[in-house]
Structures are given as structure tokens and as C-alpha cells.
Amino acid sequence: MNWVEIDGSYGEGGGQILRTSVALSVITGKPVRIYNIRANRPNPGLRPQHLHGILALKELSNARVKGAQVGSTVLEFVPGKARAKHVRVPIKTAGSVTLVLQALLPAMAFTGGSFEVTGGTDVPWSPPVDYLRNVTLFALEKMGLKVELEIRRRGHYPKGGGLVTGRVEPWEERKPLKALEWSRIERFAGISHATNLPSHVAERQAKAAEERLRELYGVPVEIETELSRSLGPGSGIVVWAETDKLRLGGDALGKRGKPAEVVGGEAADELIAQLTPGKAADRFLGDQLIPFLAFAGGELGVAEVTNHLVTNVWVVERFLGKIFEVEGEIGEPGIVRVVKRAES
């Protein structure tokens, strides 16, 4: 069999290599073999949160899979015919819903379909669901991809229990994204939430972020507050800047003993740091858009060229050949250009 071979310890060496590799295997129909999975991490091999994305893509494409178990350092994925389906992903823990969707959305763009994912919606080391919905999906819509996403219930660490549902329309018209620098901030917006906690937690997070942003930029700031019930307590805030190009985001999670004002201030400060270089996309959006940019084309200015971004470019090019040109050093602002658009 003609495998695409992927070294899972390359570059950033984390779960993103798995998510992008398996999504591209489904899109291109090419079987993939990933070895050295997370080899340089304290607990090498597949973790439960990675398995959920792989199994969702297995279901979408009727794939044959070998090595899909916790601790495995080699995975073989042979896709079948991908078609529109309703994909259910029941994560029993607070495993990240958004990381599963990072694997599923690029592949579902080519089939259409719907999804239902339970797990953690607002958990450490992964994009909060409000960021995905309001920043990432906003950029994808500019590229012609329509995704509806509904947050039915929040899920925090350690219990999870969040529920996110949605639908992906087949990506008919792939529009190149040309967004290098922003020149104007129209407004700031955001969502501050508290689950199984008093309302003042969400309000204080919102007020701290609002004051910080208004003081610096003098444009309208509208941060909604949301109260909800779920399996366990938690809070968080996502803020974004609506510019003349895209949206840039910042976020923070609450935790026991951390004042709500500190949480709101952290999210605002992260957003300010992403706005400062003047590029159209923040550091997190840059790497999330790589698989989509490969097929849509265009050029994107990023607040920071991250190791995640460079690794994702490498994975995409293992499947599709030379697609990108990245200007800028890791840790610095830069530009990602599509030099040859991929055909699907």
C-alpha cells in the first residue's frame, strides 16, 4: 500500500499532527501511517482525547484503522468513501470538544453532514467553544464554508458533560482569503459565562475585560454574560475584536481562588497582545486555518508564526506537495501565502 508516512514527533509533535493527518487522509483518500506519536511528551502515544477525533473520522469515511488505542505510538488509517453523515462523538470526560471538531471540520467541509459532540467546551490547552464559534467560523465563512454550531450545554474540567451540535454545508465555492493587516477596529464583543456559579462571576469577568479594552481603544465594547447549569462549576470569557478584515480573539478560564477580575483582565490582555503587531489573524487562528487555506488559496498575516502553524504546514505538504510559503521566524509576526492551491 502506498502510505503517506508522518513522523508524529516532528516540530510541535503533539495531537495536532494526528488531527490534520487523519482529516487529510479522509479528504484525499490516501492511507496514512503515523509513527513516533507524541514521542517527546511525558506520556507518549495516543491519549483518549486524540482517539475521539480519529474515531469520528473513521465513522465519517468508513475507514480501516490499526493502532487506535490509548498509548499506541503507531496509527494506520485507511479511509473508505467519505459521505455526509450525522457523527456522534461521546467523550465521557472533559476531553476537548473543539479539538475533536478541529479534526472533523476540514473533512466534513468536503462531505457536509451534522455532528453532536459531548465533553469539555471550556477546558485548558484547547480553544474555548466561543472562540471556535465566533472567531474561527467567522473566518471560514469568508472562505465560503458555512458551519452552524450550537452550544447546548457547557462542560468544564474535570467532569465535562458539555454538548455541542451543528451542521456543515458542503463547501461548494472556495473563496481565497486575503487578509494581511487590519486597519480599523469596528468594535469589541465577547461572551463571559459562569456555570453552577453566582451571576456576579460572569459580570465581574466581563466588566474587567470591558474596562481594559475601552480605556485603550475607545471603540464600542459589548460583552454578553451567560449563566448556565451543567455537571460541574466553571467560568470563562472569550473576547474578540471585529476589524475591517477578520476577528482576533483572546480568552481566559476561571479557576478556584482566581478572582473574576483577573480572568477578565487576562482575556483582554491576550487580545491586546494579538492586536499589537497589526496582522489580520491572531496566533491561534493562523494554525487552525492552514488545512482550509490549502484548498481555498490566499494569504494571511499572523500575529505570530507559531510552532503549531509551521508543523501544520509540514503535515499538509506531506499530502499535497508544496502549497505554502511562510514569511517570518517562529515567535515573530509573519505571513502565510498559498503558492499553489490544492485540488481535492
SS3 label, residue 148: strand
Contact 8, 18 (CB under 8 A): yes
Residues in CB range of 85: below 8 A, 6 or more apart? 59, 60, 111, 113, 114
Query: 108, 61 in Cβ contact below 8 A?
Result: no
288: annotated binding-site residue?
yes
- Taking the C-alpha atoms of residue 291 and residue 294, their distance in angstroms, rounded to an integer, is 5
- Please tell me what DSSP assigns to residue 181: B
Name the DSSP class of 175: P
Task: Write the CB contacts of 215 (distance below 8 Å, at least 6 apart in sequence).
Answer: none
Label the pairing between strands 113-119 and 85-90. parallel
| Residue 282 assigned as binding residue | no
Nearest to 92 by CA among 62, 129, 58, 51: 51
Number of residues in the chain: 344
Among residues 234, 230, 237, which one has the least CA distance to residue 203?
237
Q: Is 8 within any annotated ligand binding site?
A: no
49 is an annotated ligand-binding site residue:
no
7 within 8 A of 18, measured Cβ to Cβ? no
Q: Which entry of 50, 52, 193, 308 is annotated as an active-site residue?
A: 308
> 69 among the known binding-site residues?
no
- The CA-CA-CA angle for residues 102, 104, 106, to 5°, reads 80
* C-alpha distances in Å from residue 213, one per residue of 50, 99, 186, 283, 285: 36, 29, 13, 19, 20
Is residue 108 within 8 A of residue 60, CB to CB? The reply is: yes
Side-chain half-sphere exposure of 30, counting CA atoms within 13 A:
16
Active-site residue, 308 included: yes
Give the 3-state secondary structure of residue 335: strand
DSSP letter at 202 equals H
Residue 287 assigned as binding residue: yes
- Give the catalytic positions in this structure: 308
Residues of each annotated binding site for ATP = 102, 284-288
